[in-house]
Amino acid sequence: MRRLVPLVFILFAALISVAQKKPTVWTAAEKPIADQIHGLRSLPDDVRAQTTKDLALKIRQLPAGENKMRLAVGLAGLSTEGDFGHETLQEVATTLADTLKQQPQPWEKPGEGNDKNAAPEPAYPYVELATLVRYEHVNTLVDDPQFAAAMKRLEAEDEKRQHLDFTLKDLTGKDWKFQDLRGKVVLVNFWATWCPPCRKEMPDLETLYERFQSQGFIVVAISDEEPGKVAPFIHERGVTFPVLLDPGRKVNEMFSVEGIPKSFVYDRDGKLVAQSIDMRTQKQFLEMLGKAGLQ
């Protein structure tokens, strides 16, 4: 799902190309858009916001086709890496919704190892659009059973996250049990050393941890990487909040984390009150913590 690789649209395009046994070939109109999407992360945030909005409008004008879908999905996957404004996100969602109306996608077969009689899954672009609608609060009119199924799946995942417990070890070998943190405001952050948006938001998490620690706030950062990669990274950046290791990805799976970074805020009663589907700015994190009573 979201951002298991740095550029999700590359993955989506590659999957289609492999399935069809042919490379992606961009038209003269599509190639500049693809190049700009590749370069979005190198832009300052204010420039990136306007560029993202402009790209959404340009993609919308393209003729229907597989490449248009790739571009619409790719832009959507990068549009939530920070605070680029609701108007920008709305344009991105509208472009993706319009593209899906022009070219509906087939249902996905259940994953390998699943029950052969299991129901098919909604295609990735519908899940991406549902994610924008549910968590970024954009509006869209999509009368499609796959979109409805994607929304239902997200709702079920959120319900599951309300009733979780786990125990993981930190870099020193100390056990951390999630339920033992009741009484604190807890921000659970899933990240990795190789993930650019994860690295970008980490200093803000450290700043907020230092600011609110005395008020019973704790950041619990979870990585599925080897300690040999995580430990020097954390040491070099002076991170002081707990960093836990999830080598078998069991806790990632419990939270239905299929892309990073993702953050979940629980209040002092253990209730999930806010979450992010991607990188957040310090301002956005403060808004999330405000829902748990921290000001």
- Each residue's pLDDT tens digit, 252-271: 999 999 999 999 999 999 99
**Percent of the chain with pLDDT strictly greater than 90:** 86
Q: What is this structure's pTM?
A: 0.89
Residue 3, in any domain of the structure: no
Same domain, 137 and 219: no
Tokens 């002076």 -> residue: 238
Among 113, 143, 159, the domain-final residue is 159
Kindly report, residue by residue over 172-210, the tens digit of the pLDDT: 999 999 999 999 999 999 999 999 999 999 999 999 999
Look over the chain and give the mean of its residue pLDDT values, rounded to a whole number: 92
Domain of 180 in residue numbering reads as: 167-290
Mean pLDDT for the stretch of residues 1-9: 42
pLDDT band at 119 (very low <50, low <70, confident <90, very high): confident
Query: Are 261 and 191 in a shared domain?
Result: yes
Contact assessment for residue 222 and residue 255, using Cβ atoms and an 8 Å cutoff: no
- Token match 């930190």: residue? 170
The span from the CA of 130 to the CA of 149, in Å, is 9
DSSP 158-202: HHHHTT---EEEETTS-EEEGGGGTTSEEEEEE--TT-HHHHHHH
**Confidence band for 1, pLDDT divided at 50, 70 and 90:** very low
For residue 16, pLDDT over 70 is answered with no
CB proximity list for 112: less than 8 A, separation 6 or greater: none
Q: Does one domain contain both 112 and 141?
A: yes
pLDDT confidence tier of residue 118, bands split at 50, 70 and 90: confident
In a shared domain, residues 143 and 180: no
When divided into structural domains, the chain yields a total of 2
44-66 average pLDDT score: 97
Please report, for the chain, how many H helices and E strands are present, in that order: 11, 7
78 with 89: CB under 8 angstroms?
no
Among the listed residues 84, 31, 78, the one whose alpha carbon sits nearest the alpha carbon of residue 58 = 31
pLDDT confidence bin for 7, thresholds 50/70/90: very low
**Among 16, 100, 86, 20, which Cα is nearest to 49's?**
86
- Categorize the per-residue pLDDT at 55 as very low, low, confident or very high, splitting at 50, 70 and 90: very high
Q: Are residues 152 and 181 in the same domain?
A: no
> 137 and 184 in one domain?
no
117 and 205 fall within a common domain = no
Over pLDDT 70: what percentage of the chain? 91
Section 37-59 average pLDDT: 97
Quick one: 41 and 115 in the same domain? yes
Tell me, yes or no, whether 74 and 200 share the same domain: no
